[in-house]
Amino acid sequence: MRTSLPLEVCLRRALNCLYDSVALGQSPLIDLLRLRSRPNSPDALRTLLESEIQSLADEPGAPTSSKNHRYYQVLFYRYIQRFTQQEVAAQLGIGTRHLRREQDAAIEYLAYRLRQRYDLRTTSQIEPGESATENAASAYGDIDTEIEHLTDSLGKRACELRSVLEECALLTRALAAQRNVTLQIGLEELYSVAVSQPILKQIILNVLTMAIRAGDAGTVCVGAHVTHGAVALTFTPQPAPHHAPQPITWDQHTLSITRRMARAFRGQVEASAPDVPAVLTLTLPLADRLRVLAIEDNQDTLDLWQRYLRDSPFHLIPLRSPHDALAEIERLQPDLIVLDIMMPEVDGWELLNRLREHRLGKSLPVVVCSVLPQRDLALSLGANGFLPKPATREQFLGLLQHLAAVAVQR
């Protein structure tokens, strides 16, 4: 197979999906480097690239300050260790803009070595009908590089799935109306996923628009279930009762790009075959639950809050002894604090002041939850939110979700 893509582009794409065998198996480097006959060509390509990177550091007599060793460090940390650009830059003591220049230079040099070692031409033309996959890949532009830039810029921040899904439903409402399709979203729980919000939004928009196109004047049902540390979203197009079901042909261009975006966050997108009921399944890793230290002497209230936070992005850590609050903050390093005011052993207002003077407590979001109608006082003393007792589940979860989102944006 011949490709019109520059070797540097093929190499960068292969490095970006070095440990994704499905994506790596589509790399034109497999044919360019004559690995197609190997029993497992993606593994063979991965081993070859790892060996080529390692060879940059193993040249006899080369000092650690040499350019080759620097290229080795950049490629090793970035693509074998899978560090983010910020992490690699910190490791090497340079800025991210400088790192991107060194990264480009390292890939160009690695491509040069491959050309020399395997007698590769710089470019050639793809023959008609020879590789539909590669034709499609060249039409995407360097989508992998764009995803890499976004993930490095945004970081792998967690976000709440239901709010993003609801926003996408609003954005696609006109498209659904044009096709006489109704959206039914059955997502009751708050799932927090380890995907940056802007990328998650585009992934869901891609999947949702594909499902709408397949809806055939009927309904698209969206559901979710948790499986093995991930949440699986199902998008099921159901044609109107008077429409005979038709085989679905998914948009392969959109599907391929969406899969690449999901893989950047250890997610995946599965599409049903034409001869089975249509469904798209988007699986995303759940984020680690945020730890909420609840300083409250009443066990019934703590039990109620535990029930409120079941199947939510939050994990409640009860603390009935306010005397231990500062020590527990040091030990547990929670993400948020919920504080009662009327406690028999310690005055809640005094504890709030001590929290705001503490080196860790001063930056933690604090919610005062009390029967006392003292919202203004709580906020003036440094609380980030106030809830009257008794609070409903929606009030309790909603405020925690809001404060967690604000904390992430800081």
Contact 126, 174 (CB under 8 A): no
Contact 211, 235 (CB under 8 A): yes
> Which residues pair with residue 227 across a beta bridge?
230
Give the model confidence (pLDDT) of 205-217 as tens digits: 999 999 998 877 7
**CA–CA distances in Å: residue 383 to residues 270, 338, 369:** 45, 10, 10
> Which residues pair with residue 235 across a beta bridge?
222, 280
Contact 246, 216 (CB under 8 A): yes
Residue that has been written with the tokens 């909603």 in this structure: 398
Contact 215, 306 (CB under 8 A): no
* Per-residue three-class SS string for the chain: CCCCCCHHHHHHHHHHCCCCHHHHCCCCHHHHCCCCCCCCHHHHHHHHHHHHHHHHHCCCCCCCCCHHHHHHHHHHHHHHCCCCHHHHHHHHCCCHHHHHHHHHHHHHHHHHHHHHHHCCCCCCCCCCCCCHHHHHHHHCCCHHHHHHHHHHHHCCCCEEHHHHHHHHHHHCHHHHHHCCCEEEECCCCCCEECCCHHHHHHHHHHHHHHHHHCCCCCEEEEEEEEECCEEEEEEEEECCCCCCCCCCCCCHHHHHHHHHHHHCCCCEEEECCCCCCCCEEEEEEECCCEEEEEECCCHHHHHHHHHHCCCCCEEEEEECCHHHHHHHHHHHCCCEEEECCECCCCEHHHHHHHHHHCCCHHHCCEEEEECCCCHHHHHHCCCCEEEECCCCHHHHHHHHHHHHHHHHHC
What does the block give as tokens for 135?
């034709």
Give the model confidence (pLDDT) of 77-108 as tens digits: 999 888 877 778 888 888 878 888 899 899 99
Prior bond of 365 cis (ω within 30°): no
> Which pLDDT tens digits describe the chain residue by residue (410 residues)?
444 568 888 898 899 888 888 788 888 999 999 999 998 999 999 999 999 999 998 665 555 557 888 999 999 999 988 887 777 888 888 887 888 889 989 999 999 999 988 887 544 333 333 333 444 444 344 566 666 666 665 555 667 788 899 999 999 999 999 989 999 998 766 677 888 888 899 999 999 999 998 877 789 999 998 877 788 999 999 887 776 667 788 888 888 889 888 887 888 999 998 777 889 999 998 877 788 999 998 999 999 998 888 767 788 999 988 888 888 888 888 889 999 988 887 888 999 998 888 888 888 899 999 888 999 999 999 999 999 988 898 899 889 888 887 665 55
Q: Is the pTM of this model over 0.75?
A: no
Domains, in order of start, for the chain? 7-154 (no CATH), 159-285 (3.30.565.10), 290-409 (3.40.50.2300)
168 exposed, middle or buried (CB, 10 Å; 0-12, 13-18, 19+)?
A: buried
Residue that has been written with the tokens 């309790």 in this structure: 396
